[in-house]
């Protein structure tokens, strides 16, 4: 009789998917990894791991008596403000996710974990709980709206088919394997190389940053406890871009004089995520930014980014 949980992971070659795959195997789970390019999955010979080719539009392969599917695969536009990307985002992140959830129910998979975004909340919120207003008009509207639509679709499907649906609304995730674009990778590269970093808008841009391994840990806790519903996955603290630059400088040993602040400090960005629900129900205890950066530095991959 099978005792270990069997987990299906889509997007297993992605940044978060790769960390989740390793964490699940480390905990003795069986993992069926679904990936568009299976050759990119490292350590392919790990016990308990099976790999299948899959991408949006494909039928869900037969995965046996899997306990849960963690759906991380998503379409992320290179230009978040391009309206031409909207149809592609909605097709993949909402409609194809709905189809996948239906196929999971057909195979008797008991739980569908949908990875969404914590940036769907209204910018009026300062600490966003799961029942806060969602209205992603600040930026990346086409992408964020498609993730919110995906949440609604899979939850409605779960209600009608008896499928437990868990929605994880992620803050801005960082850590080993992350993409090289964006504020944090830019700060790390430049400060680690002894180059000047220019912090725009007076350093007041704020964002909740969560370490990738904490995201993986919470997802596995949700699977272990079969916890349905919506959970915020952040730290509960929005850090300013100036704070982030200083934290990185300390980790890489860069002189703080390399940090140059330009512009007027006008608060903007995204709300911190209220993590009380995940903390109370699932025992979620995320690392603060300084501790997450230190953990990343210990891996020896702090300056390595995917392309």
Distances (CA, A) of 7 to 17, 18, 80, 285: 12, 13, 31, 23
- Is 80 exceeded by the pLDDT of residue 87? yes
Tokens of 234: 């952040």
In this structure, the number of other CB atoms found within 10 A of the CB of residue 108 comes to 11
Of 229, 221, 226, residue with least CA distance to 285: 221
Does the residue 59 lie in any domain? yes
Q: Provide the β-strand partners of residue 268.
A: 205
Looking at the domain assignment, is residue 266 inside a domain? no
Model pLDDT, residue 33: 96
Mean pLDDT of 295-302: 95
- Residue 46, domain member (yes or no): yes
* Local confidence band at 59 (pLDDT 50, 70, 90 cut-offs): very high
Is position 76 within any domain? yes
Calculate the average pLDDT of the chain. Answer: 94
- Please report whether residue 213 resides in a domain: yes
Closest Cα partner for 30 from 44, 14, 45, 49?
49
Contact 275, 235 (CB under 8 A): yes
Is 90 exceeded by the pLDDT of residue 64? no
* Domain containing residue 103: CATH number: 3.40.50.720
- Look at residue 44 in the predicted model and tell me its pLDDT: 76
- Asked whether residue 202 is assigned to any structural domain, the reply reads no
Mean pLDDT of 79-104: 97
Across the range 246-263, mean pLDDT stands at: 96
Question: CA 261 → CA 202, 247, 265, 267, distances in Å?
Answer: 6, 15, 9, 14
pTM, full prediction: 0.96
- Beta carbons of 266 and 202 less than 8 angstroms apart: yes
User: For residues 151 and 50, what is the distance between their CA atoms, to the nearest angstrom?
Assistant: 28
Q: Contact at 8 Å (CB) between 64 and 5?
A: no
Q: How many structural domains are present in the chain?
A: 1
Report pLDDT for 2: 53
258-268: average pLDDT: 89
Write out the residue range of the structural domain in which residue 98 sits: 6-178+209-236+272-290
pLDDT tens string 195-247:
999 999 999 999 999 999 999 999 999 999 999 999 999 999 999 999 999 99
pLDDT class of 172 with cuts at 50, 70, 90:
very high
Residue 296 lies in a domain: no
Q: Check residues 124 and 91 and name the one with the higher pLDDT.
A: 91
Q: Looking at residues 91-117, what average pLDDT do you find?
A: 97
Residue 121 domain-assigned? Answer: yes
Residue 1 reports pLDDT greater than 50: no
Q: How confident is the model at residue 3 (pLDDT cuts 50, 70, 90)?
A: low
């Amino acid at each position: 009789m099978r005792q270990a949980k069997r987990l299906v992971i889509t997007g297993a070659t992605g940044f978060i998917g790769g960390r989740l795959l390793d964490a699940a195997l480390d905990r003795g789970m069986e993992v069926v990894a679904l990936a568009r390019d299976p050759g990119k999955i490292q350590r392919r010979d790990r016990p308990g791991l099976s790999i299948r080719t899959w991408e949006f539009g494909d039928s869900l392969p037969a995965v046996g008596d899997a306990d849960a599917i963690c759906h991380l695969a998503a379409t992320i536009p290179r230009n978040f403000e391009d309206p031409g990307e909207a149809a592609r985002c909605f097709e993949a992140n909402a409609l194809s996710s709905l189809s996948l959830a239906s196929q999971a129910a057909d195979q008797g998979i008991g739980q569908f974990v949908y990875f969404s975004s914590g940036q769907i909340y209204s910018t009026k919120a300062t600490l966003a709980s799961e029942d806060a207003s969602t209205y992603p008009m600040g930026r990346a509207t086409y992408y964020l709206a498609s993730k919110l639509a995906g949440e609604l679709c899979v939850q409605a499907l779960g209600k009608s088919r008896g499928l437990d649906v868990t929605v994880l609304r992620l803050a801005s995730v960082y850590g080993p394997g992350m993409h090289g674009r964006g504020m944090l990778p830019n700060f790390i590269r430049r400060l680690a190389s002894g180059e000047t970093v220019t912090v725009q808008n007076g350093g007041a841009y704020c964002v909740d940053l969560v370490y990738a391994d904490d995201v993986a840990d919470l997802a596995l806790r949700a699977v272990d406890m079969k916890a349905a519903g919506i959970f915020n996955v952040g730290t509960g603290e929005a850090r300013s871009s100036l704070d982030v630059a200083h934290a990185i400088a300390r980790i890489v040993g860069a002189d703080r004089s390399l940090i140059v602040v330009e512009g007027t400090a006008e608060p903007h960005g995204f709300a911190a995520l209220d993590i009380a629900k995940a903390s109370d129900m699932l025992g979620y205890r995320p690392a603060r930014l300084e501790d997450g950066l230190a953990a990343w530095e210990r891996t020896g991959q702090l300056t390595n980014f995917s392309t």
